[in-house]
Amino acid sequence: MSDLFFYGTLRHLPLLECVLGHALSNEKISQASLPDHAVYGVVDEAFPMIVPEEGSHAEGLLVQGFCPEDLSRLAFYEGGFDYDLSPQGVVLADGPRVEASVFFPEPGLWTPDRPWSLQTWVDKWSEVTLVAAQEELAYYGKVNATTISRNFAPIRTRAWAKLAARKRRTGDPRDTEKDVIVQSHRRAYVNYFGVEELDLQYRQHDGTMGPLLHRSGLMQGAAVVVLPYDPVRDTVLLVEQFRAPVFLIDDPEPWMWEPVAGMIDPGETPEQAAYREVQEEAHVGLDVLEYAGGAYSSSGSSTEYVHLYVGLGDLTRTIDNGGVVSEGEDIRTQILSYDTFMKKVDNNEFKDLPLLLMANWLARHRDRLRG
């Protein structure tokens, strides 16, 4: 049996139990601290790191009695953050000093930010972290921690989208707790996208439960689509970029003209994501966002939910170097007059469905926007 000291997110017991895969029952939990260390947030991340700091005390929990399987699951989870165990002497709240293992980050990997607060993290990030951990731990024993580390960002994006989806009610009286029976649920693949499989039955329109069906879903986060429009000049801005799925289906023109689009990051509202994406992809600052609706992009195959906007602003220049280089984006833009844009729509020159949706919305609201 082994003893570990937790100074960060695993002090949140629901998360610790998720990682372990069982409730804490036989383990002994005590308040403790690690002398000459302090806990700081990580720059641009939602988790903390521990650093040597003479005279400080890193507060945390000492958990005693972990079995080898517990340690293996913890190493898998923390390894995804590039943290490894190190033996340390921790001090219990009632005075005695004991030996325990502590997860330390790889030296130089992270940059410390401000002092970290557990309660602040619980209030803002614990829910999405727990949902993300459920997906990560589903791959325990199937992939290595490096694979999870490489896909940490999209997993959190999917978790943030799942929390938003749980609030997406329109008044349907049916209850999935009673009207959907899941026989098995498997997470089959993890990467930038995930794939999950189900064997299920659902209640049919005649009130009976239907046959057992095998279904799968492409697991994605939520996204924003923004069509920049200049109501003074009566022009729209489009972006062009290479799309691998279009290439994979053997379309000879995988460079697509589209509206600005991107995923909603954890902690972001759709509006914040819309402004950020237009700046990143088109180098344009918008004045106003007009909400044009939200919907699932392909509900028979994908979990992606898209928020549609027309963004109003001054469109005066195009670029050939938009996008985020670290994400492999290579984007150029063009500005079209409204009449030219709609002529291309009517001539079926565009192959992007959100762009066609936005063109129709703009046609119905153009007079109001110009007024």
261 appears as a binding residue in the annotation: yes
Q: Where in the chain is the domain with CATH 3.10.490.10?
A: 2-118
pLDDT(84) > 90 = no
327 appears as a binding residue in the annotation: no
pLDDT tens-digit map of 42-52? 998 989 999 99
At residue 102 the predicted structure's pLDDT band, cuts being 50, 70 and 90, is: very high
Beta strand segments in 153-301, E: 180-190, 194-202, 213-219, 223-230, 235-242, 255-258, 260-263, 288-296
Question: What integer pLDDT is reported at residue 109 of this predicted model?
Answer: 86
CATH class assigned to 223-370: alpha beta
| Nearest Cα residue to 225 out of 265, 273, 160 | 273
| Mean local confidence (pLDDT), 326-341 | 93
pLDDT(32) > 90 = yes
| Mean local confidence (pLDDT), 16-45 | 94
| Mean local confidence (pLDDT), 116-141 | 97
Mean of per-residue pLDDT scores for the chain: 95
Query: What is the rounded CA–CA span in Å between residue 84 and residue 93?
Result: 25
271 appears as a binding residue in the annotation: no
pLDDT(80) > 80 = no
Q: Which residues contact 278 (CB under 8 A, 6 or more apart)?
A: 226, 228, 260, 284, 285, 286, 311
| Mean local confidence (pLDDT), 1-7 | 89
Query: What is the rounded CA–CA span in Å between residue 109 and residue 111?
Result: 7
Poorest-pLDDT segment among 1-10, 31-40, 351-360: 1-10
| Mean local confidence (pLDDT), 41-70 | 94
| Mean local confidence (pLDDT), 131-155 | 94
Q: Where in the chain is the domain with CATH 3.90.79.10?
A: 223-370
pLDDT(132) > 80 = yes
| Mean local confidence (pLDDT), 243-258 | 97
Question: What integer pLDDT is reported at residue 94 of this predicted model?
Answer: 80
Instruction: Give me the count of residues in the chain.
Output: 371
pLDDT(326) > 80 = no
CATH topology of domain 2-118: Hypothetical upf0131 protein ytfp (3.10.490)
309 in Cβ contact with 290 (< 8 Å):
yes
More confident call, 26 vs 370: 370
Percent of the chain topping pLDDT 70: 100
Q: Give the residues across from 214 on adjacent strands.
A: 199
Query: What is the rounded CA–CA span in Å between residue 306 and residue 352?
Result: 14
At residue 88 the predicted structure's pLDDT band, cuts being 50, 70 and 90, is: very high
pTM of the full structure: 0.93
Question: What integer pLDDT is reported at residue 323 of this predicted model?
Answer: 86
Tokens matching residue 343 = 């002529």
pLDDT(358) > 80 = yes
Poorest-pLDDT segment among 47-51, 81-85, 261-265, 301-305: 81-85
Question: What integer pLDDT is reported at residue 93 of this predicted model?
Answer: 86
Question: What integer pLDDT is reported at residue 329 of this predicted model?
Answer: 85
Query: What is the rounded CA–CA span in Å between residue 305 and residue 167?
Result: 13
Question: What integer pLDDT is reported at residue 353 of this predicted model?
Answer: 97
Helices 118-138/68-79 angle, 10° precision:
100
Using CB atoms within 10 A of its CB, is residue 282 exposed (0-12), middle (13-18) or buried (19+)? buried
Poorest-pLDDT segment among 77-81, 139-143, 262-266: 77-81
| Mean local confidence (pLDDT), 322-342 | 92
| Nearest Cα residue to 6 out of 61, 70, 47, 46 | 61
Query: What is the rounded CA–CA span in Å between residue 8 and residue 2?
Result: 19
| Nearest Cα residue to 121 out of 54, 38, 49, 52 | 49
At residue 1 the predicted structure's pLDDT band, cuts being 50, 70 and 90, is: low
256 in Cβ contact with 244 (< 8 Å):
no
161 appears as a binding residue in the annotation: no
pLDDT tens-digit map of 187-244? 999 999 999 999 999 999 999 999 999 999 999 999 999 999 999 999 999 999 999 9
